[in-house]
Structure 1
């Protein structure tokens, strides 16, 4: 099978495309002639032309994305240690089916547990690993929080503007201030932490929450104004490990961020304001009805097993060959600890 690659970024990872598809990668020829499938980055706008060309040619479009244990730092300077491939849709687009959703449904209908899922979840939590692993602060002490107990703290998770997973989760930019207002209103007296996205912290991409956004929201919402006046509402741009934040709160409000799934692993009550890949399975407090999906109740272990064991593909940073979840955990654990203080 000849797989035509549609973007320069994915071309740099053509060996991974070949490894995952079992085909031979080539640069996408004009009009897509001579290829059996077209590969692109997910359902991002940059992939629209490739997807349209695949439809016209009547050949498969194969979506690739960074995996859920990507690297130490965000950005193209580091090769992703994990990637996902989807021949049906992509995991963050609830408007159509995806391979991940089919994998979860199949596991949900199968009796018994998923061997190793609980142990792997515990390993990620104890290793403090996430998609990006450049956090230098490993506990909440430097934040000087007002509330003492996790039960009195709530985390609101921001995402970068224009992230394809926001629209794919049937949300938009207006969802974020509404989510924050709901978090404040529904948790009177609680300390509200607004977690800024790592790429926003680095100045690479804009987010939805800034001091001005919070001030404007306080001007229109009495509950937000009271929380802000009492010093109970704060942005959290510090490079704090996401697990430290999750273990410091009892509730998490999110749209479609991967951190919402990690919040479930951390035992938090998760309020989902979008149809992320982990919403609609009976594990989250859903603010939208996943009417376009066929999701039924299942367990956290089954979703984790589908996501990390089946849907994700791992490669070695050292050899660029197929690897295993445990190898990636070891590598990231070693590299990320070098930046911890």
Structure 2
């Protein structure tokens, strides 16, 4: 089997050293005319195929002369003769040699004629955006992509014998000559699914190109953050000092990303002075099995260019998505399927339900309200709590508005674990509540109550998924869209749209976050992360996590 036959146009970006196999030579599906046209259209639209992850070229020209797959010494000599012949037909200023190796026969001919030579990998689509025609020795990515784009592409078996490349023939080979594999599961899949993966990877990589530096990132999560922000095979550097990060980003015209709750002193002011954008990063809503405060790395994050979702004083990307995104039928159906799966599996931000929790109280027919506690110094409380600040104030307010209700207080898991502040004494809680719930999953608890009353807790969002009434006293991201009873102040000027639950979920769990597969470390969609919640081996605590949990337990015991 020749090298050309083994080199599929659809390949994995080098996210890491050990990569899953995306395509193997085999007899694939039948290539109908409609299927070929669909494949051609998708590759052109999404700018996938070839080394789409490579940097943009430093030079572009209307006529490309390219070496195909596996250019060895003999083929380099043939490529040199092809370039010399084309230099007599076209102006050398119109030619661009695209071939590996800064030296050798082809490179010498390029220097002789004054032809620009690109010898490092570049994004083929960026080359073709400015090309009129492509001349390629043997089969290669650039000729195939040019043909798919409808551009003139000539392929040469020798310098004097070339033939045109037909885009529909390229699409036919992609369909019929390859068997495709899901990189997350290893299962056989379709070419359409592989093209969806590549389109996702392209979007992530293109967004990451705008990031120049990371600052304010904890050491224990930097490896995972690097995977989120990769531009294969590298990633933006991490800095401890705001001034160093801003200086680098200012010189490159890129943004600095920072953890929203760990913004270094002076970063915002220095970035504004240098006209450097600051993007804020936070944990996603379907994050991991295990607490972030317990050092479990996230499988999802948000990268917000406007603000951050829990601060209603300014717009955020999530608010903008919810206010403006065109939620089409396909996206709404995908969101409904996701809701059904999350509810069926009992999945919440930090894990999944064990389905073993029994009711611990007797409400004697009273309306049962759940009040989820939050971390007292959490920015979502400080920025989004409004007039009601803290767990005690929330309990007092809920009791004042619901004197006859049976109120259950649920302390935040980070507080229970001893990692964060916000603990209330049992006697203080029981002055306003009827029961304190600590054990089991909060999603199991939500099933057993009629309403959830909250400041800004994600438990309110999880209650909406489970068709419970939600009353908000602060301004969480899910308030103000017609799905909640809002007692707090809502930025009505920015939240005027009425959303369905499917649209809220589409925005909050599909469009806004980034996800990474915790097993393969490859960017993925939410459905892949949700499926990984079933695999306990992935989330097994490390030694560092066990030490952190022990410290939290001791702190909690001493605080009693």
Report what 2:529 is aligned to.
Answer: 328
Q: Cα distance 1:336–1:94, how it changes in 2: closer, same or farther (>3 A)? A: farther
Supply the distance in 2 between the matched residues of 1:130 and 1:201 (Cα, whole angstroms). 17
1:193 and 1:236 in contact (8 A); partners too? yes
Q: What is the CA-CA distance between 1:152 and the residue it aligns to?
A: 2.8
Report what 1:280 is aligned to.
Answer: 480
2:374 and 2:390 in contact (8 A); partners too? no
Correspondent of 1:199 among 414, 417, 421: 414
Q: What is the CA-CA distance between 1:307 and the residue it aligns to?
A: 1.0
User: Counterparts in 2 of 1:31-42, with a 5 A limit?
Assistant: 31=244, 32-35=246-249, 36-42=254-260
> Which whole-Å deviations, capped at 9, do the CAs of 1:231-253 have from their partners, x for residues lacking one?
xx122122x21221111001111
Count residues in correspondence: 319
Q: What is the CA-CA distance between 1:208 and the residue it aligns to?
A: 4.9
1:39 and 1:61 in contact (8 A); partners too? yes
Q: What is the CA-CA distance between 1:256 and the residue it aligns to?
A: 0.7
Supply the distance in 2 between the matched residues of 1:293 and 1:80 (Cα, whole angstroms). 33
Q: Cα distance 1:114–1:314, how it changes in 2: closer, same or farther (>3 A)? A: same
Supply the distance in 2 between the matched residues of 1:293 and 1:207 (Cα, whole angstroms). 32
Q: What is the CA-CA distance between 1:126 and the residue it aligns to?
A: 0.8
Supply the distance in 2 between the matched residues of 1:243 and 1:128 (Cα, whole angstroms). 6
Correspondent of 2:518 among 317, 322, 336: 317
1:71 aligns with 2:288: yes
> Which whole-Å deviations, capped at 9, do the CAs of 1:150-205 have from their partners, x for residues lacking one?
x7311001101211111221437735323212333443443211011111121111
> Which whole-Å deviations, capped at 9, do the CAs of 1:4-25 have from their partners, x for residues lacking one?
1112426443423424999941
Supply the distance in 1 between the matched residues of 2:454 and 2:534 (Cα, whole angstroms). 26
Correspondent of 2:362 among 146, 149, 154: 146
User: Counterparts in 2 of 1:19-58, with a 5 A limit?
Assistant: 19=230, 24-28=235-239, 30-31=243-244, 32-35=246-249, 36-42=254-260, 44=261, 46-58=263-275
Report what 2:438 is aligned to.
Answer: 237
Report what 2:307 is aligned to.
Answer: 89
Q: Cα distance 1:305–1:134, how it changes in 2: closer, same or farther (>3 A)? A: closer
Q: Cα distance 1:334–1:34, how it changes in 2: closer, same or farther (>3 A)? A: closer
Q: What is the CA-CA distance between 1:50 and the residue it aligns to?
A: 2.6
2:213 and 2:255 in contact (8 A); partners too? yes
2:333 counterpart SS class: coil
Q: Cα distance 1:102–1:174, how it changes in 2: closer, same or farther (>3 A)? A: closer
1:39 counterpart SS class: strand
Supply the distance in 1 between the matched residues of 2:361 and 2:447 (Cα, whole angstroms). 14
RCO (CA 8 Å, sep 6+): is it higher in 1 or 2?
1
1:300 aligns with 2:501: yes
Supply the distance in 1 between the matched residues of 2:456 and 2:232 (Cα, whole angstroms). 27
Determine which structure has more spread, i.e. the larger CA radius of gyration.
2
Q: What is the CA-CA distance between 1:57 and the residue it aligns to?
A: 1.5
2:213 counterpart SS class: strand
Q: Cα distance 1:126–1:211, how it changes in 2: closer, same or farther (>3 A)? A: same
Report what 1:221 is aligned to.
Answer: none
1:161 and 1:206 in contact (8 A); partners too? yes
User: Counterparts in 2 of 1:12-23, with a 5 A limit?
Assistant: 12-19=223-230
Greater mean deviation of Cα atoms: 196-205 or 110-119: 110-119
Supply the distance in 2 between the matched residues of 1:148 and 1:317 (Cα, whole angstroms). 45
Unaligned runs of 5+ in 2: 1-209, 541-560
Q: Cα distance 1:287–1:20, how it changes in 2: closer, same or farther (>3 A)? A: farther
Report what 1:290 is aligned to.
Answer: 490
Q: What is the CA-CA distance between 1:209 and the residue it aligns to?
A: 3.2
Supply the distance in 1 between the matched residues of 2:364 and 2:383 (Cα, whole angstroms). 37
2:387 and 2:488 in contact (8 A); partners too? no
Q: What is the CA-CA distance between 1:85 and the residue it aligns to?
A: 0.8
Report what 1:164 is aligned to.
Answer: 379
What is the TM-score of this pair, normalised by structure 2?
0.52
2:531 counterpart SS class: helix
1:264 counterpart SS class: helix
1:114 counterpart SS class: helix
Report what 2:402 is aligned to.
Answer: 187
Q: What is the CA-CA distance between 1:78 and the residue it aligns to?
A: 2.3
Report what 1:4 is aligned to.
Answer: 213
Q: Cα distance 1:33–1:288, how it changes in 2: closer, same or farther (>3 A)? A: same
Q: Cα distance 1:22–1:86, how it changes in 2: closer, same or farther (>3 A)? A: farther
Report what 1:117 is aligned to.
Answer: 335
What is the TM-score of this pair, normalised by structure 1?
0.84
> Which whole-Å deviations, capped at 9, do the CAs of 1:231-278 have from their partners, x for residues lacking one?
xx122122x212211110011110111111111111111110111100
